Amino acid sequence: MKTDLSYKTILDNMNEQVYVRDRDMNLLYLNPAAEKLTGWSQNTALGRKCWEVFGNEDRTCRDLCPVNKALSEGQGLLHHEGKLKTLSGEIKDIQVSVSPLAEEGNITAALVVLTDLTRMQETQRTHVKTVLRLENEIENRKRVEQALRESEARYRFLAENMADIVWTLDRNL
Which residues pair with residue 116 across a beta bridge?
94
Greatest mean pLDDT among 3-7, 120-124, 128-132, 144-148 lies in 144-148
Band of pLDDT at residue 1, cut at 50, 70 and 90 = very low
3-state secondary structure the chain: CHHHHHHHHHHHCCCCEEEEEECCCEEEEECHHHHHHHCCCHHHHCCCEHHHHHCCCCHHHHHHCHHHHHHHHCCCEEEEEEEEECCCCCEEEEEEEEEEEEECCEEEEEEEEEEECHHHHHHHHHHHHHHHHHHHHHHHHHHHHHHHHHHHHHHHHHHHCCCCCCCCCCCCC
Contact indicator for 33, 10 with CB cutoff of 8 Å:
no
* Mean pLDDT, all residues of the chain: 81
Task: List pLDDT tens digits, range 133-169.
Answer: 888 888 888 888 888 888 888 888 877 787 777 667 7
Task: List pLDDT tens digits, range 12-31.
Answer: 888 888 889 898 889 999 99
Parallel, antiparallel, or unpaired for β 27-30 and 77-85? unpaired
